[in-house]
């Protein structure tokens, strides 16, 4: 049975910690990681949690305790990973358009590094030569992902070194004797089609002969998780089977045994998350009934930014007759969470829960309109633990410096 939190548990947490509040279920994260381990048991695969999805230190510690590794998108995420207890060899830093000084810091910390530009690759070669193994992030010119804004492998994407610049890469490698330990391709997020990952494997098949010291082939992340009631996620067991076949094909062709690396973020934490809000006001306008909640895109921006869908439930009145509502926020912008959504009768004061809120929810939050960021609660073995305090007014002023006029 899948690990879930009940309406009663969520209501109790809302009553104890107030709303809006983010709630995470530790056992669901564990369940998702075990799915990966089971699906990829036939290959030498390593999983690096894409920590940008949710960086609370307690989540990182739980991920570490499971035996999962960690992927970082900034030097500060690397430092958080170190603080959470991850060993340097189990930390991956995949840079993107960053100053070379960040790469230098990552080298000082001794972590795995993927470089995504010819410019930084040249600087890296000049300074470190063959002394420090490094990976290269490539852009394969593959369009994939659930939305253009989360598609990272197409020909107009800023991410990675375009694969047609292979000759430039090889020239730098030779000129500076760079130790290329890995090749990395991440095509996007919300990828359901297993064949997309196999296209990446085919690209690696052609590239492997050019790099004599390769240890790993990094296929990125982006596994799809179901957001809608009728959706299915990536067939992870099938993907594991196909990856094992691809790795065996490489071994047979080149007599080289590679590790397959993956960077799941949303897959591990999306379904563990619940975002609980309370209805402030009901408003009728023509045929539209608005339910205005005590949150906005300052807390959950995905529906406005990506046009993403989140299941919503009225846990205060779950058995009432169904009506149609447009769920909106309290921010002075257009912040519609869901339009024309069918829910059990919604009343002022009811609790509405947004599901699949663990990834890129709190993490992309802000203090826009000088609103407070919500509290965060982690449920472990049925017991809620506060892992992030709700902002106070003092937090709004914390980094401001008053001057005398």
Catalytic residues: 332
From the CA atom positions of the chain, what is the Rg in Å?
23
Task: Tell me how far apart the alpha carbons of residues 14 and 389 are, in angstroms, rounded to a whole number.
Answer: 14
Q: From residue 290, how far is each of 281, 285, 300 by CA, in Å? A: 8, 8, 18
Task: Tell me how far apart the alpha carbons of residues 331 and 386 are, in angstroms, rounded to a whole number.
Answer: 26
Task: Tell me how far apart the alpha carbons of residues 157 and 22 are, in angstroms, rounded to a whole number.
Answer: 32
Task: Tell me how far apart the alpha carbons of residues 372 and 352 are, in angstroms, rounded to a whole number.
Answer: 19
Q: How many CA atoms lie within 13 A of 89 on its CB side?
A: 3
Annotated binding residues for pyridoxal 5'-phosphate: 222, 360
The C-alpha angle with vertex 292 and arms to 323 and 280, in degrees rounded to 5, equals 110
Task: Compute the CA torsion angle 263, 142, 212, 215 (nearest 10 deg).
Answer: 10
Annotated binding residues: 222, 302, 306, 333, 360
- β-partners of residue 77 are none
Tokens linked to 122: 């040249």
Task: Tell me how far apart the alpha carbons of residues 192 and 265 are, in angstroms, rounded to a whole number.
Answer: 15
Contacts of 32 (CB under 8 A, 6+ apart): 264, 267, 268, 269, 271, 272
Cβ contact 53:363 at 8 Å: yes
Task: Give pairs for 334-340: CB < 8 Å, separation 24+.
Answer: 334/304, 335/296, 335/297, 335/304, 336/303, 336/304, 337/293, 337/300, 337/303, 337/310, 337/312, 338/303, 338/309, 338/310, 338/312
Tell me 372's DSSP state: P
Annotated binding residues for substrate: 302, 306, 333, 360
């Amino acid at each position: 049975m899948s690990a879930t939190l009940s309406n009663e548990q969520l209501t109790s947490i809302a009553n104890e910690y107030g709303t809006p509040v983010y709630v995470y279920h530790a056992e669901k994260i564990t369940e998702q990681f075990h799915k990966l381990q089971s699906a990829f048991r036939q290959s030498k695969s390593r999983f690096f949690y894409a920590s940008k999805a949710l960086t609370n230190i307690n989540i990182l510690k739980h991920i570490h305790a499971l035996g999962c590794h960690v992927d970082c998108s900034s030097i500060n995420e690397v430092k958080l990973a170190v603080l959470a207890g991850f060993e340097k060899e189990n930390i991956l830093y995949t840079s993107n358009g960053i100053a070379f000084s960040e790469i230098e810091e990552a080298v000082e910390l001794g972590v795995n590094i993927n470089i995504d530009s010819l410019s930084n690759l040249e600087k890296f070669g000049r300074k470190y030569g063959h002394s420090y193994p490094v990976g290269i992030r490539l852009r394969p010119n593959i369009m994939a992902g659930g939305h253009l804004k989360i598609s990272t492998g197409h020909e107009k994407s800023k991410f990675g070194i375009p694969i047609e610049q292979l000759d430039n890469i090889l020239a730098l490698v030779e000129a500076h004797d760079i130790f290329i330990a890995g090749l990395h391709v991440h095509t996007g997020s919300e990828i359901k089609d297993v064949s997309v990952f196999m296209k990446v494997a085919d690209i690696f098949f052609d590239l492997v002969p050019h790099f004599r010291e390769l240890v790993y082939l990094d296929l990125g992340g982006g596994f799809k998780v179901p957001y809608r009631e009728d959706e299915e996620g990536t067939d992870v067991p099938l993907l594991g089977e196909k990856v094992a076949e691809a790795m065996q094909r490489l071994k047979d062709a080149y007599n080289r045994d590679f590790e397959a690396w993956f960077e799941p973020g949303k897959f591990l934490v999306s379904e563990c998350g619940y975002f609980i809000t309370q209805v402030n006001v009901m408003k009728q306008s023509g045929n539209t009934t608005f339910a205005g909640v005590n949150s906005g895109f300052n807390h959950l921006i995905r529906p406005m930014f990506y046009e993403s869908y989140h299941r919503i439930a009225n846990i205060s009145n779950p058995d009432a007759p169904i009506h149609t509502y447009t769920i909106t926020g309290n921010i002075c912008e257009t912040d519609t969470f869901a339009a024309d959504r069918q829910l059990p009768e919604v009343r002022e004061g009811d609790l509405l829960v947004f599901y699949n809120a663990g990834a890129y929810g709190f993490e992309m939050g802000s203090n826009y309109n000088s609103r407070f960021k919500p509290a965060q609660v982690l449920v472990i073995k049925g017991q809620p633990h506060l892992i992030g305090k709700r902002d106070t007014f003092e937090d709004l002023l914390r980094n401001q410096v008053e001057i005398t006029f």
